[in-house]
Amino acid sequence: MVAMKTSTSRTTPNTNSQTLFQTATKLIPGGVNSPARAWRSVGGTPLFFESGQGSRITDADGNSYIDYVCSWGPLILGHSHPDIVQAAQTATAKGASFGAPTQYEIEAAQLIVDAVPSIEMVRFVNSGTEATMSAMRLARAATGRDMILKFDGGYHGHDDALLVRAGSGLATSGIADSAGVNPKLAQDTIVAPYNDLDAIERIFETHPERIACVIIEPIAGNMGVVPADPEFLAGLRRITSDDGCLLIFDEVISGFRAAYGGAQEIYGILPDITCLGKIIGGGFPVGAYGASTELMSHVAPLGSMYQAGTLSGNPVAMAAGAETIRQLQSPDTYTRLSKKTTQLANGLQQILTESETPATINHTTGMLTLFFGVDSVTDMTTASTNNHEQFKTFFHKMLQNGIYLPPSPYEAWFISLAHTTQDINQTLQAARKSL
Ligand code: HOZ
């Protein structure tokens, strides 16, 4: 059992984080290796972290926080789970990388094939970006078509063709679309509003048999948490099948989180290709794309769609990921995670109501977003009417009270199995004070 500290507070100023950040900004663009970490959307100096244990993290100045970032999703078991640490240490001691197959890859692949309803074969890569980029290439290879359709606010990594109206990372930085994207690639990308089936019907009427794939987060996590409407997702499945267009579910966030078999298990709707990442690496860099054996036979060396990587299927990531998945197999895992999430969401809702704060909370198992100043959020248009200033103030007050939230109003808060009832009560107390 992981020893848990029972209190969190910000007892010392963040002097060390400030010094580290100043040095980092001279060496790394913006001082960070991923823009959301720079806190541009909430202001202030990003905290540097030293360690994490269970639901708690400790910054470079020794302050402890209850963590709702959880490495942006991978840490469903919490920080430094002893069995994951052990799995990674054992694999590392045997050899960190071979650039040749190891048994760990088979174990991880078998677990994924058994868990995810639509996957018969899986290829491991090193990030979610690589997974979606490769899935798209596979769709183009299999259909012989060029166009792709994505959704406004859907983030699928930073591949050129997908970096169009891509939700949180860009919205947080105040950037509409990235500079440097090859316009020739982006011009084959159609963007549709999320949860709007009429729009999809019109697009397919305009471009019949021309779109290679539709890529969607069935539970969006990068415009804040926005679950797809079941009828919308069913309609999307029907329209794409009728047209011969492939449907890609980006389950990098929802995979093994919303349910063991991902969002596709919850909705009972099977995509043609699934992208995974985060949880399946147990906190180490990973991504994967999987599909039917027939579709995956287009991938080299079986077929002519080339995709490769020196560290793909890295044994340390495979060992940590496989152990994480095994830990999730206990029968009450998702009931417990769902209960924790609901406890947090309902508690926050009650506080918002009592304090007469206009806001809405979207949640699904293991993730939630609190949108200030909005009645309901169903797409990027409604998400972007949230009150940024209110979130900014709330973020810093929560931080003062020992709660580390994602530093952007467009992100999901991640709840892990290590978050205890006491953690959630403490979070609610902090929210009550902050509001
Ligand atoms: N992909 C995250 C934004 N939705 C940011 C990840 C990170 O900064 O680590």
- Reported as a single tens digit per residue, the pLDDT across 74-96 is 999 999 999 999 999 999 999 99
72 vs 40, 273, 411, 416, CA distance in Å? 17, 23, 9, 11
Residue type, 89: Q
CB 101 within 8 A of CB 313: yes
Region 160-177: mean pLDDT is 64
Evaluate the CA torsion angle 406, 411, 417, 422 in order and state its sign: positive
In a domain, residue 403? The reply is: yes
Amino acid 8: pLDDT: 59
**pLDDT at residue 258 greater than cutoff 90:** yes
Pocket test for ligand 1, best of 57, 72, 369 (most atoms within 8 A of CB): 72
Q: Is residue 7 part of a domain?
A: no
- Choose the final residue of a domain: 327, 354, 374: 327
Q: Is the distance from CB of 379 to CB of 223 less than 8 angstroms? A: yes
Assess whether pLDDT exceeds 90 at residue 403. yes
**315 ligand 1 Cβ < 6 A:** no
Specify the pLDDT at position 172.
Answer: 55
Residue 1: the pLDDT is 34
Mutational pocket test of ligand 1: of 28, 32, 34, the residue with most ligand atoms within 8 Å of the beta carbon: 34
pLDDT of 122 > 70? The answer is yes
What is this structure's pTM? 0.95
Q: Are residues 86 and 48 in the same domain?
A: no
Same domain, 207 and 345: no
Annotation says 289 is catalytic: no
Atom of ligand 1 nearest to the CA of 168: 4
The two structure tokens encoding residue 300: 């080299």
Q: Would the CB of 217 count as within 6 Å of ligand 1? A: no
Residue 184 has pLDDT above 80, yes or no: no
Instruction: Give the pLDDT mean for 286-307.
Output: 98
Q: Active site includes 250?
A: yes
Mean pLDDT is lowest, of 11-25, 178-192, 231-245, 398-412, for 178-192
Q: At what angle do helices 103-115 and 315-327 cross, to 10 degrees?
A: 40
Q: Is there a single domain that holds both residue 270 and residue 311? A: yes
Q: Which atom of ligand 1 is nearest to the CA of 128?
A: 1
- Kindly state whether residues 295 and 371 are assigned to the same domain: no
73 shares a domain with 135: no
Question: 327, 349, 368 — which closes off a domain?
Answer: 327
Mean pLDDT across the chain: 94
The predicted pLDDT at position 4 comes to: 40
**Better-predicted residue by pLDDT, 185 or 169:** 185
pLDDT higher at 407 or 178: 407
Query: How many separate domains does the chain show?
Result: 2
Asked if 380 and 153 touch (Cβ cutoff 8 Å), the reply is yes
* Domain CATH number, residue 290: 3.40.640.10
| pLDDT of 407 higher than 70 | yes
pLDDT digits 0-9 by tens, 44-60 = 999 999 999 999 999 99
* Structural domain contains residue 368: yes
Judgement on whether residues 349 and 317 belong to the same structural domain of the protein: no
The H or E element spanning position 321 is helix 315-327
Domain that holds residue 75: 15-80+332-434
